[in-house]
Structure 1
Amino acid sequence: MSIEGKVKILVSDDDLTARILMKETLASDSIEVLEAENGERAIEQFEQHNPALLLLDVSMPKMNGFEVCEFIRKHKNGKHIPIIMVTGSDDIDSIHKSYAVGATDFIAKPIKWPILGERVKYILRASQAFADLVTQQQELHQLAFYDSLTGLPNRQYLMQDLKRFLAMAKRNDYQAAMLFIDLDRFKRINDTMGHSYGDKLLRKVAHRLQANLRDSDTFARVSAEQTTEAPQLSSFGGDEFTIFLSRLNDPNEAMLVAERVIRSFSTPFQLEQYEVVVTPSIGISMFPNDGEDAEMLLKNADTAMYFAKQSGRCCYKFYQDSMNSKAAARLQLEQDLRQALKSNEIVPFYQPQVCARSGRIVGVEALVRWLPLKGGIIPPDEFIPIAEETGLINELGRLVLEQGCYQAKQWLDSGHSVRMAINVSAHQFRQHDFTQTVAQVLEQSQLPPSLLELELTESVIMSDAEENIARLVELKSLGVSLAVDDFGTGYSSLSYLKRFPIDILKIDRSFMCDVNSALDDVAIVEAILALAESLKLGVIAEGIEYTSQIAILKSSNELLLQGYLFSRPVAAEYIGPLLSQNFTHLMAEL
């Protein structure tokens, strides 16, 4: 509408004198007047300059004022532009027709020029106020119905359109599908790389989903059949997205879209200098079998998505009725776990670590247990995954760290120097204040740092090796020992391994074998022992159940043994008597 700060006005009249007078009346430092001598020229000027206001004479050659006005009102840029028709003073029919074709106002001839100037200024102010209002409404609509991060329709938009489309599907008796997508382990991106990278990843995920849905034959066919455009892809908040498919012939079409989405994630996402791999878990619910309204369809798709995560992630699951009862049981378990943390039902058990040379217990590993007040025991593999998904793992981990350190201090005060090994979850390790937390617990418990060992899995420390080296150095500066748990089950670069400030390798129980085992199995254990010796690291062998397993470990200089051969994980009161025992008689094979 304006160039170099000037508002453009177009005056169209076949009378040159009238155009000159209009230009002299209206032109100013802030207004530039354009001219057109006929209707066709008026349209050319309008399309070229997009003026803020038009004055059209009713009687013009090559399209009269009414025709020009009607054309402009149908133009994409002319719906709201002010149009003043110039008519004869006693031409009532022209005035009525002016309004009928969409004119904003009219001016009768002969024109009173001072009044014309004031009238145009008033209409321009009113037009600007209207434009501001429209812009504000558009911005409010954008905020209300679109996700500000990805630009996708949001949950409110989705719910609004779903009701309409489901009603249409019900009337026409056809199927539809809801795909509920959640990014697997997205929180680790925010925890390790920061929220700015997490936001960039979400934008790239949204773009890739849009691109792949456009290219999908199934999706294209579904969209082509719809009489009204639907918000097929929506952002449901955070790392959750939904895809609504209408007019399906059978559930296989929803399956094809889900498979295409999963395949599209096989290519890493480029975030500046980083390549990030993230995978989707997808739940699918079908209309009308799995829900006849928007809320139920979404709820059941969400439930199915959770079961996709339980099934190993990076897959899809169709909703089944049995899922609801299982989901309810899981929700109850989550609520019970929150209460258990408050009511001291979560306690560490301890499993001895025996020195292969002396036969004495020199350390214990703290292993968390849930002992409900009503009796029984809930296995860790039932509640640890829930704790990780809900963020309760940080509270649980701190509890075990505190109780373990206080217990080790009690044993120290009674004359037994026992190193306390505490497992550190990925969630804990990625907390920016984890080192400060460990320092605080050591200070509060008065446990010497040399009696605390922190165990991290191989996969955790290798997730971002460069950054984790700095984290490990921080922890090491406290004076604690660092161990790599489950060594051999993940992937380690030896160039990184020698840079990690670690003290101990724990050989995973899955590698424990004896002299009668396959040569390949024995070779793996011997290779790990040789690696530990070359890097001057201690070794803890887990899963020792038989004396025959100890024989292949004899070459290790710094060897600790842990397993049922010596003791199962037990409560603290059962460890006390064991601290005075000697287990040399169990190591005759050495």
Structure 2
Amino acid sequence: MSGSDAGIAWLTGQTSARAELLDMLDDPAWLVDANDRQVLHANQAAADWFGVDRGQMAGRRADSLLTTLEDAAFWADVQNGVVVALNSETELTRPDGRIVWAHRRIMPIGTPLPGRQMPGGFLVTLRDRSQEYRAERQRDSLLAELRATLESTADGILVTDLQGRIQAFNRRFAALWSLPESALAERDDEAIHRWMSAQTVAPASYQARLAEIEAHALLSAVDTVHLLDGARLERHIQPQWSRGRPIGRVYSFRELNPQRRGAPRLQRGGVRDESSHWPERNGFVAQIDDAVGLARRDGTPMALLCIEFDRDSLFALEGEGQVRAMGDVVEGLRALVPVQHQLARLGGARFGVLLRQCGEASAEALARRIVDQGRTAHGLLATTGLMVSVGIAAYPQAGLSAEDLLDHAEKAMERARHAGSSAWRVHAFDATDDGQRLARLHRTLREGGAGQSLRLRYLPRIDAVSGRVQCIEALLRWHDGEHGLLPPAQFLPLAARAGLAGALDDWALEHALHQAARWRAAGFVWRVSLNLSSWQCLQPGLARRVEAALQVADWPAELLELDLHEAALQADPELTRAQLRALRELGVHLVLDDYGSGDACLNLLRRFPLDAVKLDRDLVHGLARGATPEAGLAVALAGAARACSLAVYAEGVETETHRQSLLALGISGWQGFLFSRPLDAASVPARLAHEKKSSGGLARVKP
């Protein structure tokens, strides 16, 4: 019998049945008098739970049985005349010391006392969910492994049931189909299918083929899907089986013409979008090529506009609302763009305009008009209610080919989108967009020159109390032939875009561990620290690869520390938590780097298996200045980390004032230029041996 049945019996006045009803419950349960908050009656299961004789339960105070903060607050409210119900799950420690996960429910029952709103009493029930919780964790672990497998493939994967309801998909699928971020969060099946159909060159044909697929549960097939952005996707369809019967379908999508953004895909073309009858991306690139050739021969100007309407807002519209909004967009652009200029549909809510024999000034005027028409209450684009972003690229300022011009127009459009409201931007080169250097670094990475060009520099971290070296952090550097030694910010983003972030992480781990082993042979043993990229955290088998590197270098896992950034924890929390848990089981120490630099809630400290946090350098410097927002934030964040039993380190310590303010904060260790700048491998033993002789702060350890 459930606790609610017992409550019903009380409410109907069956006083004699109260004890009998409680005794019939399998889970621990007891009745509490509302007046003095003492136990009136408890069943045998409750006595067994607390490890006492059943007769000892009566008369005990309710707030002495379950001592969580939530229970204490509940009974305090009851004492103050506040009547509510409590229904939640909590972690409890039983009298025998066992920790269990239990569902606890407290419900008011009975006739209110005379002259008061207080009920006659409360029914408390407990249900041990530890076994279910372990099963859920095991299921979550299996799902994390499945997700890791899905993410490890270069193909886009979509899994549906037999009715087409979406069960799972990976990030590659979302990227191929240009799904907005809201689609990843909400998982609205109907909206996702509608969006996919709208991305195809021929939506009617796509829908007809999809209906044919769904009509045959055992269909295995391969076909090709053409998207508006110029991609050609090879679609593989296979039934999904379980226990000898089909339960769904697995679609895998492979891009047949993967080229960089803005380039013509494969065919050049006459294909047109069904809804607008404008050329799609391939046809638009061909038209730009023709215009570039004419401009090169005649010296006439030309320019491009790349226009995108807010995909997230468009995706959120339901059914016909989305169709009407897209129709309004098409008609609005048709009315705004002069007929001598060419419009194109580049995919989803993205459009292009080719302005022949017009320069940058004419393109700016048109972009301004489009943005103004979206903002004006009675403008031609106002009915859509969508934010619009416009990017401009002119020949020859932004490039000499169709590919470069379209790519640069799209980059300018991305900058406009970050303005937060309808806006337009003109493409402009800046110091960080050094095309020649990026191309050279990209070529070097791709051609296997990393081993000759990569360097590791080492930065010690000092124990705040003893002054000894806690750890040596290995920092990756790139030695460029023309620009010398480059910091990570100037080459890691390129490596990430080229798909080489994991290779760089593996290289740094392997070489840092082997260097640590060489120091050990010379008599110095320190923990080694490295940064772990967000990309690496999403790859399956991370712990196995780290374990293999440790075995090859003969280096103990307890002397390896991996630094993670907030973005790595947030990219895929469930998968990352499983990966980090496996690393912790090896013995690897895990540190949240740049702590306090992002927006993450403190819940991250509890959700992930971390050992320490490292305060961001801006907080360190703000703390030294005293009464600043950074100082207060540093104190609060350090306190929160310690409350979660995490050590607190600091980076960017450059002055004695910095160090003294951190000592007052109670940190465990610090690193920065005050002690040393990053050192090459040969300089580390000499530098640290000197510190030993001068201050006694280092111990020489036998291997």
TM class by shorter-chain length?
Answer: 0.5 to 0.7
In the alignment, is residue 302 of structure 1 matched against residue 407 of structure 2?
yes
Say whether residues 1:501 and 2:609 are aligned partners: yes
Of residues 553, 574, 579 in structure 2, which corresponds to 1:445?
553
Q: Deviations over 1:265-291 (max 9, x none)?
A: xxxxxxxxxxxxxx9997522479868
Answer yes or no: is the 8 Å Cα contact 1:212–1:261 preserved in 2: no
Counterpart CA distance in 2 for 1:442 and 1:261 is: 61
Kindly provide the amino acid, as one letter, of the partner of residue 333 in structure 2: F
C-alpha deviation, 1:379, in angstroms: 3.1
Q: Which residue of 1 aligns with 2:245?
A: none
With over 3 angstroms needed to count, the CA separation of the structure-2 counterparts of 1:318 and 1:502, relative to structure 1, is same
1:549 is the counterpart of 2:667: no
Which of structures 1 and 2 has the bigger CA Rg?
A: 1
Q: Which amino acid is 1:401 matched to?
A: L
Pick closer, same or farther for the CA change 1:443–1:140 going to 2, 3 Å.
closer
How far apart, in 2, do the equivalents of 1:456 and 1:262 lie? 42
Q: Does residue 537 of structure 2 align to residue 429 of structure 1?
A: yes
Residues 465, 496 of structure 1: 8 Å contact kept: no
Judge conservation of contact 1:218–1:256 (CA < 8 Å) in 2.
Answer: no
Q: CA deviation at 1:386?
A: 1.6
SS in 2 for 1:252: helix
How many angstroms does 1:395 deviate by? 1.7
For the pair 1:250 / 2:362, whether they are aligned, the reply is yes
Offset at residue 501 of structure 1 (A): 0.3
Residues 584 and 590 in structure 2, CA contact (< 8 A), matched pair in contact too: yes
Which moved further from structure 2: 318-327 or 562-571? 318-327
SS at 2:607 equivalent:
coil
TM-score by length of 1: 0.57
Q: Does 1:178 align with 2:309?
A: no
Does residue 520 in structure 1 map to residue 629 in structure 2?
A: yes
Structure 2 equivalent of residue 395 of structure 1: 503
What residue is the counterpart of 2:282 in the other structure? 156
TM-score by length of 2: 0.49
Partners of 1:387 and 1:262 lie apart in 2 by 38
Seen in structure 2, the aligned counterparts of structure 1 residues 554 and 489 have a Cα distance that, compared at 3 Å, is: same
Among 366, 369, 380, the residue aligned to 2:474: 366
Report the alpha carbon displacement of residue 154 of structure 1 after superposing the two structures with TM.
Answer: 4.4
Q: Compute the displacement of 1:410 (Å).
A: 2.1
In the other structure, the counterpart of 2:641 is 532
Residue aligning to 1:562: 671
Change (3 A) 1:163 1:446: closer
Report the alpha carbon displacement of residue 570 of structure 1 after superposing the two structures with TM. 1.0
Contact 1:337 1:383 in 2 (8 A): no
Q: Which amino acid aligns with 2:509?
A: L
Q: Which structure carries more helix by proportion?
A: 1
- Indicate the larger mover: 245-254 or 426-435: 245-254
Structure with more relative contact order (C-alpha pairs < 8 Å, separation 6 or more): 1
Q: 1:313 to 1:480 in 2, by over 3 A?
A: farther
C-alpha contact (below 8 Å) 2:650/2:667 kept by paired residues:
no
Alignment partner, residue 334 of structure 2: 220
1:266-345, aligned counterparts within 5 Å?
A: 283-286=391-394, 296-306=401-411, 317-319=425-427, 326-338=434-446, 341-345=449-453
Deviation at 1:146, TM superposition (A): 6.5
Distance apart, 1:161 and its partner CA: 5.1
Contact 1:145 1:157 in 2 (8 A): no
The equivalent of 2:684 in structure 1 is 575
> CA offset at residue 157 of structure 1?
2.7
Cα offsets for 1:152-178 (capped at 9, x unmatched): 5544333455578899999xx998743
Aligned-residue offset at 1:525: 2.0
The separation in 1 between residues aligned to 2:562 and 2:675, in whole angstroms, is: 22
Read off the aligned partner of 1:421 and give its amino acid letter. Answer: S
State the percentage of identical aligned residues: 26
* 1:481 CA displacement: 0.6
Cα deviation 1:493-516 (Å, max 9, x = unaligned)? 223321210001000111113555
The correspondence for 2:516, drawn from 408, 411, 432, is 408
Question: What displacement does 1:233 show?
Answer: 1.0
Change in 2 beyond 3 A, CA 1:217/1:473: same
Show the counterpart of 1:232: 344
How many aligned residue pairs are there? Answer: 408
Checking the alignment, whether the CA contact within 8 Å between 1:348 and 1:368 is kept in structure 2 is: yes
Following the alignment from structure 1 to structure 2, what is the Cα–Cα distance between the partners of residues 302 and 499? 40
Q: For the structure 1 residues 463 and 160, does the alpha-carbon distance in structure 2 shift closer, same or farther, using more than 3 Å as the test?
A: closer
Instruction: Provide, for residues 126-156 of structure 1, a one-character-per-residue CA deviation record: whole Å limited to 9, x for no partner.
Output: xxxxxxxxxxxxx999799965669955443
With over 3 angstroms needed to count, the CA separation of the structure-2 counterparts of 1:401 and 1:246, relative to structure 1, is same
Residues 559 and 341 from structure 1, CA distance in 2 versus in 1: closer, same or farther, beyond 3 angstroms? farther
* Structure 1 residues 166 and 391: CA distance shift in structure 2, 3 A: closer
The DSSP-based 3-state class of the residue aligned with 1:363 is strand
Q: Is the 8 A contact 2:307 2:391 kept in 1?
A: yes
1:354 corresponds to 2:462: yes
Of residues 456-465 and 349-358 in structure 1, the stretch that sits farther from structure 2 once superposed is 456-465
